Amino acid sequence: MARLITGLDAARVRENAERIRSEIGDAELLAAVKYVPLEELGVLAEAGVTLLGENRAQDLVAKAEAYPGVFRWHFIGQLQSRKVKDIVPHVELIHSVASDSALRRLEQHGTPETRVLVEVDVAGEEAKAGVAPAELGAFIERCPVEVAGLMTMPPFTEDPEASRPHFAALRELAREHGLHHLSMGTSQDYRVAAEEGATIIRVGTTLYS
């Protein structure tokens, strides 16, 4: 199990955030806080980092309720359909919609303000969640709430350039379907993602170290 990130320093986080923002242009920096405990989140606010992404529904609800009005929240983890009703009131964007069961729950619990990104498996990995590119159009048509864009997680690699074809493919899919937002890129490959048109970059370790 990964270790929680504690002892955050606001000045260091601010310095890292400014450097990352200078490298990603117009893309938004989203701080992935899966391993940042609730009591450390105030340091992020002090550092001027206010767009946060959480992977676990229960933790997102607890953190959002502990800091009302301080942060903007996105859900970035694997979406369990039974958790949709819990996270919808707290988030401005869900990054990981990829199943018909999630669509059914969004139909039940979504609001006119609910916006989502469809997770696309551009690499064709059998073990990974995501809609196949060939099925994307039909999936978008079935979605009962606003689809604001697409998200992908390419295969893990030590070489950021290996992610470029996957990011480029997602950008092309978004263009084909008239979608704006592209959530792609993490600590190891965010520069490449930005070059390929990412509008939201999800960064964890690099922001905190």
Residue extents of the structural domains in the chain: 10-208
The CATH homologous superfamily of the domain defined by 10-208: Alanine racemase (3.20.20.10)
Residue 127 clears pLDDT 80, i.e. is over it: no
Dump pLDDT digits (tens) for 131-169.
Answer: 999 999 999 999 999 999 999 999 988 899 999 999 999
The answer on pLDDT for 1 being more than 60 is: no
From first CA to last CA, the distance across the chain in angstroms is 19
Query: Would you say 32 and 44 are in contact if contact means Cβ atoms under 8 Å apart?
Result: no
In this model, does residue 42 exceed pLDDT 80?
yes
Q: What are the CA-CA distances from residue 168 to residues 50, 79, 107, 160, 161 (Å)?
A: 28, 24, 31, 13, 11
Residues 75, 87: contact at Cβ < 8 Å?
yes
Residue 131: what pLDDT?
Answer: 96
Taking the model in full, what pTM does it have? 0.95
Residues 193-199, mean pLDDT to the nearest whole number = 98
pLDDT at res. 124: 84
